[in-house]
């Protein structure tokens, strides 16, 4: 998991799940915990770009509460507003 700061209070998140753990809900669980960590770090919004054809990753972001806000022929843009997310700790 990685956060790349993109502006005040915003970060782009990216994750990679080892092949042996895919399809088990690990991605969504990591993303839910990442939202708590991001809130602890002071971020107010997370966003992610996911390739259109990467259906498992898209499902993970959606299960974790990210909203699809834009899409073109290459990528989907998801966001999660962190207001109301209890920080980690």
* CATH number, domain containing residue 50: 3.40.630.30
pLDDT, tens only, 31-44: 999 999 999 999 99
Write out the chain's pLDDT in tens, 89 residues: 999 999 899 999 999 999 999 999 999 999 999 999 999 999 999 999 999 999 999 999 999 999 999 999 999 999 999 988 787 76
In the chain, the number of structural domains is: 1
Residues 2, 30 contacting (CB under 8 angstroms): no
Domain that holds residue 52: 2-81
Helices 26-40 and 55-63 cross at an angle (nearest 10°) of 50
Q: Is residue 44 part of a domain?
A: yes
């Amino acid at each position: 998991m990685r956060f790349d700061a993109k502006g005040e209070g915003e970060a782009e998140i990216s994750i990679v799940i080892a092949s042996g753990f895919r399809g088990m809900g690990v991605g969504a669980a990591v993303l839910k915990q990442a939202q708590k960590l991001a809130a602890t770090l002071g971020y107010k919004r997370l966003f992610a770009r996911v390739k259109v054809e990467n259906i498992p990753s898209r499902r993970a972001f959606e299960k974790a509460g990210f909203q699809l806000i834009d899409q073109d022929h290459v990528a989907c843009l998801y966001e999660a507003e962190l207001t109301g997310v209890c920080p980690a700790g």
